[in-house]
Amino acid sequence: MQYSVGVIELKSVAKGIQAADDALKSAGISLISAQPICPGKFELIITGELAQVNASMEKVRDTYTSYLIDSVLLGRIDPTVVKALLGAQPQAERGAIGTIETFSVASAILAADTAVKSAKVDILELRAARGVGGKGIVYFTGEVADVTAAVEAGSRYAKEQGLLVGSSVIGSPHEELWNYL
């Protein structure tokens, strides 16, 4: 199955909750996230087949135009990115650690997708907006060369969009650091 992801940001929490309900009722999609984010905005992230995600997003955009901050439809997303958005963490071997930090949720998702398609890495976590001031952060692990290639590819995309906050690669992370990732 080809996964797609829709990201919608609204400037009202109350309308965001209502929009999430409308999105779920309009097409056969699944929620990845429907929550308030800093400062007082609402994030709605949905997944499913491209046509259904697009239909849900159109419904929300048409109904909540005056509350809409941004919306992005991301097609053909790697399934590991969707799993990471849903909170699944692989039982990956501990290797190098790579991090990409972006100014938006959509750019973090696309950076993660670009990264996993460019090198053999596992996503440790993909954090979207909550607890990071509306930013997106993705952590990878794998062999140093693969993590470096993945971080460079994902960072390049975000940088081209003007949305890269920063990135890093740690070739041999301290053992205690793993307890916090």
Report the alpha-carbon distance of residue 79 to residue 2 in Å, rounded: 8
Q: What is the pTM of this model?
A: 0.81
Tens-digit pLDDT string for the chain (181 aa): 568 999 898 889 999 999 999 999 987 899 988 988 877 788 898 999 999 999 999 999 999 999 988 888 988 888 888 888 877 666 777 899 999 998 888 888 889 999 999 999 999 988 876 655 667 889 999 999 999 999 999 999 889 988 899 999 999 999 888 777 7
For the chain, list the strands marked E by DSSP: 3-10, 30-37, 41-48, 68-77, 96-102, 122-128, 136-142, 164-170
Domain 3-77: give its CATH superfamily: BMC (bacterial microcompartment) domain (3.30.70.1710)
Q: How far apart are the first and last CA of the chain?
A: 30
Residue 62, helix vs strand vs coil: helix
Domain at 79-180, CATH class: alpha beta
Q: Where does CATH 3.30.70.1710 sit in the chain?
A: 3-77, 79-180
137, amino acid identity: I
